[in-house]
Amino acid sequence: MAAALARLRLPAGHRRTRAVRAALFTGVAAFVLTFPFSGLASPPWLFISAIILVFAIGALGLNVLTGYTGQVSLGHAFFIAVGVYTGAVLGGANTLGGARGYGLSAFIWIPAAGVIAALCGLIIGPTALRLRGLYLAIVTIGVVFIGQHVWLNFPAVTGGAPGRALPSVSFGGFDFGKQQDVAGFTPSGGPSNAPYALMYYLALGILVVAMVFVWNLSRTRLGRAMAAVRERELVASLVGINLARTKIAAFIISSFLAGVAGALYAPLIQYAQPNPQTWDLILSIQFVAIIIVGGIGTVWGAILGSIFVGALPVALSDYADQVPGGFISTGTGSGVISAGDAAAVAYGVLHSGWPDGTSRSRRARHHEPSERRQSIVRPQMSRARWQMALLAAAVTAVAACGSSSSSSGGASGGGIQTGPGIDAASKTINLGVLTPLSGPVAAPIGVPLTKGQETYFKAAADRGLLEGWKVNLIEKDTAYTPQQEVQQYNATVNQVAFYAQSLGSPTTLAIQQLADSAGILIGAATQSGSWVTDKVMITIGDPYSIDMANGIDWIVNKLGKKTAKIGIIYQNDEYGQDGLRGYKAALAAYQFNDVGELPFAATDTDFSSQIAAMKGAGAEYVALVATPSSAGKIVGTGAAGGYVPNWLFQGPAWSSLLMATPLKAVLPGHVYVLGYQPQWGDTSVPGMQQFLADHAKYAADQAPDYYYMYGYTEAEFSFGGLLPDLTYTPQLGPASTQTGVTVVDASVPAFLKQVQPFFEGDAAKSIKFPYS
């Protein structure tokens, strides 16, 4: 009997394997549960880890559709967006832009986001009945593009082109965004990381539930039907499986999980604009990359793929300066390849080595019979993977962008206390810089403005203004997108004393609530009037609304053009809306001949309709609220059609780089620029002589530039005003209400010549802050 029992026992090797697996599982579980309190969770890794968990939930949904059922979909971004905006409407608040919000508990809006997304899946699912493979993928791409049109034109839900703030998770009176600890314990990175730690645990709990559900799904009748449809649809139908019901069920389950992931994604990104770069095909391909890298049709593959795709670009960006030979570029533009491109190459290498994914390949090596591994004939499941592999070429274009660099200058005075970003031992102060170092706004604005700040800190150190302290600028690329601004803010908020720069109205708006909650000062390199009364925003100059109101006053009253036909073309976001406020205030005050108020999206490249409308209306003066890249296209489109009105540029529409284009023949005498900046080289202006000397000494290679001077002035105003002890008294109002007007002139430095000294008109006086 004893001998018989001995034969029934597992072999010793199997018992050891089970023990090792149990120990490994226990260790991993302990690590995952305690991660927010470990040293590894320092910014931005706790935030990134929460994103990874959320993306894993969405990837599980795509695995049900593609891995279990064999339906290739590239529409996942649409369902993620449905979840985000369902959460925004049900859990958020009403916005100034007209977006609705009901402030409900997360107990309601997180599952509701899944249900609404599932209903969308139920509507779209029937398109899969006659299609599969790459044909279905093409149809689901259409869903993404239709969604982009809907989001942009549904302002009551999305806020329209300006976007909307997204809600934090709140269960009753327990608001994640206001917490300073987790059950009495402070997470790594300090109290400001507590909301992300709570989001991490919430996402982890929902992920575990989703994993158990998806794991057991494959063992149910429905799961077996999905597998049969995946392998051979014809055979599945012959044995009585309802193909339509099975495919639609897969779409519903996949959409539900994507909606829940979107609802959890919203509190992490905290702001969203429905522009073509937000809920786009690239986001869908990211999810495809996750299941390809991790292993199509496996539960653990979604987790491993999310970790790899989510963490690798950030890791390569953070440690780019430690790669031998400077191979990977940093935010300053050095290096051979960007961190995102390096990650894309790694995805391709991994997919080449493990075409079935990391989790499935190990199982295949150890459990498949050798004759199957060597067989030329692949089963139908592999055909689906082969179809997905064709899409892997697109995956190589996907990588989360992130760049960082630091540069040194001088720093602050005596009496400074220790704290985040301040090292009293080395007398170093870290200041954050959130600016576009890539994309169309980088070269004309982001790079020269940041260089102006660097010049000031170097000069201030040499002149002894910083009393032996050093300033280290932690420069992060936002690419002029709100989502990336939030990510870079989260990555640096516990490393800096305050932010010397946050460039851009839509991007700064995205972090305003975060900065208010953290109480960290922001040097706003944007003159939107929406935050001139905000206690943490340090603003310089006059708001865009004041600028525009004074600019129209200059035309109507200073030039006496009371009957002139005037119109405005504006970028439809916070920046453009602020200029429009000033335009409307001037219209109410002066009753001038308004011929049109025409918006455009920041990502638009075709402006023929706006130009045709202004030309058709006979507009003599056209106010333009845009960035330089858009401004150049707009003026160029008009000039190509023989339309050259007098252009009234909001300050950020201008860049001296425009004079290096064929527009050089059109701009002088026809473009007037609004702003508080004086003419370059006017030594009658206080501080100009010192600025010119510092420019010649520290940045002689920098051509005269409006934004370079702005960056220098902003650093002097914001940081210099905090000395000697880094204390700040909120101004609670515009720094200025006066506007100067310059005209483009090729004969002067920076190409701007003052034609109207600073003044304030009646319309500007009528604008009240804060906006109602």
Q: Of 655, 735, 726, 190, which Cα lies nearest the Cα of 499?
A: 726
In this structure, of 274-283, 553-562, 630-639, the range with the lowest mean pLDDT score is 274-283
Torsion sign (Cα): 443, 568, 751, 720: negative
Separation of alpha carbons 100 and 583, rounded Å: 26
pLDDT for position 385: 46
Residue type, 516: D
Q: Which residue has the tokens 């069920």?
A: 249
Q: How many CB atoms lie within 10 A of CB 356?
A: 21
**Bridging pattern class, strands 428-435 and 498-503:** parallel
Average pLDDT over residues 569-575: 92
Q: Of 324, 492, 278, 471, which Cα lies nearest the Cα of 402?
A: 492
Whole-model pTM: value is 0.73
Average pLDDT over residues 153-182: 87
User: Given phi > 0 = left and psi -120 to 50 = alpha, else beta, which region is 226?
Assistant: alpha
630 has pLDDT over 60? yes
320 has pLDDT over 60? no
Residue type, 36: P
Collapsing DSSP to helix, strand or coil, 674 comes out as: strand
pLDDT for position 33: 92
Work out the pLDDT band at 423, boundaries 50, 70, 90: confident
pLDDT for position 367: 44
In this structure, of 46-50, 205-209, 613-617, the range with the lowest mean pLDDT score is 46-50
Tell me which of 311 and 652 has the higher pLDDT.
652
pLDDT for position 499: 94
358 has pLDDT over 70? no
| Arithmetic mean of pLDDT over the chain | 83
Tell me which of 320 and 288 has the higher pLDDT.
288
pLDDT for position 381: 40
**Bridging pattern class, strands 739-744 and 646-649:** unpaired
Tell me which of 17 and 706 has the higher pLDDT.
706
Write down all domains in the chain, each with its CATH number in brackets: 31-316 (no CATH), 417-540+682-725 (3.40.50.2300), 544-675 (3.40.50.2300)
pLDDT > 70: percent of the chain = 82
pLDDT for position 579: 96
Work out the pLDDT band at 553, boundaries 50, 70, 90: very high
Query: What DSSP assignment string belongs to 64-75?
Result: IIIIIT------
Tell me which of 709 and 235 has the higher pLDDT.
709
In this structure, of 334-348, 419-433, 526-540, 674-688, the range with the lowest mean pLDDT score is 334-348
pLDDT for position 376: 31
363 has pLDDT over 50? no
Separation of alpha carbons 251 and 230, rounded Å: 14
Query: What DSSP assignment string belongs to 574-617?
Result: HHHHHHHHHHHHHHHHH--EEEEEEEE-TT----HHHHHHHHHH
Count of alpha carbons within 13 angstroms of residue 365, beta-carbon side: 9
354 has pLDDT over 70? no
pLDDT for position 618: 96
Separation of alpha carbons 270 and 254, rounded Å: 24
pLDDT for position 7: 54
Average pLDDT over residues 508-519: 85
* DSSP state letter for 190: -
Tell me which of 189 and 440 has the higher pLDDT.
440
Separation of alpha carbons 571 and 561, rounded Å: 26
13 has pLDDT over 80? no
How does pLDDT run across 94-122, given as a tens digit for each residue? Answer: 876 678 999 999 999 999 999 999 999 99
How does pLDDT run across 592-628, given as a tens digit for each residue? Answer: 999 999 999 888 899 999 999 999 999 999 999 999 9
Find out whether 503 and 434 touch, Cβ atoms under 8 Å.
yes
Find out whether 706 and 677 touch, Cβ atoms under 8 Å.
yes
Tell me which of 133 and 658 has the higher pLDDT.
658
Average pLDDT over residues 74-101: 90
- Provide the CA 20 distance to its chain's centre, in angstroms: 42
Average pLDDT over residues 755-767: 94
Average pLDDT over residues 362-388: 41
Query: What DSSP assignment string belongs to 627-688?
Result: -HHHHHHHHHHHHHTT---EEEE-GGG--GGGGGSGGGGTSTTTEEEEESPPPTT-TTSTTH
Report the interhelical angle of 106-124 vs 243-269 (nearest 10°): 140
374 has pLDDT over 80? no
Average pLDDT over residues 296-305: 88
